Amino acid sequence: MIQHIDYAAVAPPLILAAAALAVLLADAFGLPRRALAWASAGSLAAALAAVLVLAAGDRRATFCLPGGLRGGGPASCSYVADRFTLLFQAVVLIGAIVVVLLSAQEIADADVPAGEYHFLLLAAVIGAVTLVAARDLVLLVAALETLSLPVFALVGLRRYDGAASEAALKLFLFSVVSAAVMLFGVSLVYGATGALHLDRIAPALDALPDDLDPVAAVGIVLVLGGFAFKIAAVPFHFWAPDVYQGAPLPVAAFLSVVSKAAGFAGLAVVLALGFPAYGHVWGPLAGVLAAVTMTLGNLMALRQRTAIRLLAWSSVAQSGYMLAPLAVGRDHLPEAVAATASYVALYAVMNLGAFAVLTGARRRGPATPHADTLADFAGLARRAPGTAAALAFFLICLAGLPPGVMGLFAKVVVFRATLAGDVTWLAVVMAVNTVIGLYYYLAWAVRLFTVPAEGTADAAYAARPGLPVRAAIAAAFGGAIVLSIAPQLVLQTVAAAG
């Protein structure tokens, strides 16, 4: 039996795969770093163009069960390119392009092998792009691993650096454990329902015999746990601060934006399409996880002294906000998924911006554990007014205050979805958390405008960031301003996709 493959639907990952191999080969032939970076960015842009073309057309699906095997069930396609998928693919690809822009400086400074770096990055993006399109559990797990594996190497790519190696090992261990947990969960769900495609699991769970009920429930909880690692939710969050600090900054940005966006898309797809019948199980669980995650993330972020660890913990806290709408369970689920999706998309812009500024304002030269403390940002407004203004704006967006209307709307959407599902307590927890979050974002933003103390003015900070980094900052800043004036651009797209 020959399966028909819709190559147009899988074009984005295909383009990236070809490009990844080409980059690796080209490096072997000794092409300059600059050319590799351009090739990498170009292929991402090409994939993005493919996504945009697909978005103009209808929903496409491929790798479906052939007619003879369906047995009267639904079409059961493994790879679906609907509007939701395409939206997240676009977010992932745009994020990846910004990461490539940020990488140039890092590769030159830390003497990272450029070919491997870009190859691994592209490979991880393939995983992310596939993950958001996956509609069966096997492809989902495979994509998740494709996303995770290259990242270990990326984190540890800065050779002879203890912090990087430690971070890579930590990430690896966490990832392996969570993958095992998730696989176990998948096998339980498979055992209970006899299906791997999400559109078959859903009806099977609806009509599950009572004695299989606990099996399916445990399986679902374990699958949720696997995703909790990817999105750095409590209790799988411990890796985040150390890894963000040890990894090269662009890789940290990748983890906190691209990888997280893909994780959330996958989670939303699994819960909404596969497990709606067990909303009473994963709904409250997601609620509790969200509450604990945002509270812990915010409280820990309060205590941080270095910029990167602060961003790491704040990104844990932001995961909590994104997870919160999913606490509604089965009712109002489309609305909740749309809220999560909007938050992820808006968050990607602001957080990438913050990381871009961090990369630009970073101390040059060999990394030391105590570099880039928040105190080092004092007086940035004098050294580089534009960069400081951009960072202040991103921070205010993350805090969710005007003039960062974008962040405010992200919060509004999430609050609304949570309240629509009658999870009022979570909304109150979120309200309190917003205040905690505001404190450290604002304290940092204020620092930018203060006068630095004597003797801390370091020549290493004076260097201007390179052109690609400035382009990345400008792009994120522009995006943040546009979305602050017209947040409906994202909200509308998400509503149409939901």
Partner 1 sequence: MMALPLLGALALLVPAFLPGDDAVRRFGVGVSGATLLVALSALTAFDFGDPARMQLEVDRAWAPSIGLRLHLGADGISLPLVVLTALLTFLCLLYTVKHPPGDGRSVRLLVALVLVLEVGLLGTFTALDMIVFFVFFEVVLIPMYAIIAIWGGAARRAAATKFILYTLLGSGLLLAGMLLVAVNAGTLDLTQLARTHGAGVPRGVQLTAFALMGLGFAIKAPMWPLHTWLPDAHTEAPTVGSVLLAGVLLKMGTYGLVRVALPAAPAGAEFWAPWLGLLAVVGIVYGALACLAQRDLKRMIAYSSVGHMGFVLLGIATLTPVGVNAALFGNIAHGLITGLLFFLAGAVKDRYGTGDLDELGGGLLASAPRLAALLTFACVASLGLPGLAGFWGEMLALLGAYRPGGGLPRGVFLAFTAVGAAGAVLTAAYFLRLLARLTHGRPAGRAGPGGGAAVSAYEYAAWAPLIALTLLVGLWPKTLLDVTTAPVRALLGGG
Q: Does 453 bind partner 1 (CB under 8 A)?
A: no
Q: Which stretch binds partner 1 (CB under 8 A): 38-46, 232-240, 244-252, 416-424?
A: 416-424
Q: Rule CB under 8 A: say whether 415 interacts with partner 1.
A: yes
What gap in Å lies between CA 297 and CA 308, rounded to an integer? 14
117/103 Cα distance (integer angstroms): 9
The distance of closest approach from Cβ of residue 338 to partner 1 in the complex, given in angstroms and rounded to an integer, is 8
Question: CA-based Rg of the chain, rounded to a whole angstrom?
Answer: 22
Contacts 24+ apart (CB under 8 A), 271-276: 271/224, 271/326, 271/333, 272/333, 272/334, 272/337, 273/135, 273/198, 273/199, 273/202, 274/137, 274/198, 274/201, 274/202, 274/205, 275/201, 275/202, 275/205, 275/220, 275/223, 276/202, 276/330, 276/333
Amino acid, single-letter form, for residue 287 = G
Among 208, 374, 419, 463, binds partner 1 (CB under 8 A): 419
Query: Are 445 and 392 within 8 A, CB to CB?
Result: yes
Using CB under 8 A, which of 117, 229, 355, 409 touches partner 1? 409
Q: Of 149, 183, 374, 438, which lies in the binding site for partner 1, with binding defined by CB under 8 A?
A: 438
Task: Compute the least distance from the CB of residue 224 to partner 1, in Å.
Answer: 25
- Shortest distance (Å) from residue 287 CB to partner 1: 15
Applying CB under 8 A, which part among 106-114, 157-165, 211-219, 426-434 lies near partner 1?
A: 426-434
Burial 56-74 (b: 16+ CB within 10 A, else e): eeeebbbbbbeeeeeeeee
Q: Minimum distance between the CB of residue 419 and partner 1, rounded to whole angstroms?
A: 5
Could you give the CA distance from residue 268 to residue 116 in angstroms, rounded to a whole number?
32
Our CB check for partner 1 shows the closer of 13 and 407 to be 407
State the residue for tokens 């990894």: 247
Measured between alpha carbons, how far is residue 391 from residues 305, 386, 436, 484, 485 in Å?
A: 17, 9, 19, 15, 18
Site for partner 1 in 368-407 (CB under 8 A): 396, 401-403, 405
Q: Using alpha carbons, list the distances in angstroms from residue 227 to 25, 128, 200, 419.
A: 33, 13, 21, 24
Nearer to partner 1 by Cβ, of 185 and 421: the residue is 421
Question: Does 462 interact with partner 1 (rule: CB under 8 A)?
Answer: no
Shortest Å distance, C-beta 321 to partner 1? 12
Task: Give the one residue of 66, 331, 424, 478 binding partner 1; rule: CB under 8 A.
Answer: 424
Token code pair at residue 11: 């074009």
**Region near partner 1 per CB under 8 A, out of 122-130, 252-260, 362-370, 433-441:** 433-441
- By CB under 8 A, the count of residues binding partner 1 is 34
3-class DSSP state of 160: coil
Identify the three-state secondary structure at position 208.
Answer: coil
Residue number, 176 or 389, with CB nearest to partner 1: 389
**Min CB(292)–partner 1 separation in Å:** 18
- If one asks whether residue 482 binds partner 1 (CB under 8 A), the answer comes out as no
CB of 429 to partner 1, least distance (A): 10
Closest approach of partner 1 to the CB of residue 282, in Å: 22
Q: Which residues bind partner 1 (CB under 8 A)?
A: 396, 401-403, 405, 408-409, 411-413, 415-416, 419-420, 424, 427-428, 430-432, 434-435, 438-439, 442-443, 446, 487-488, 491-492, 494-496
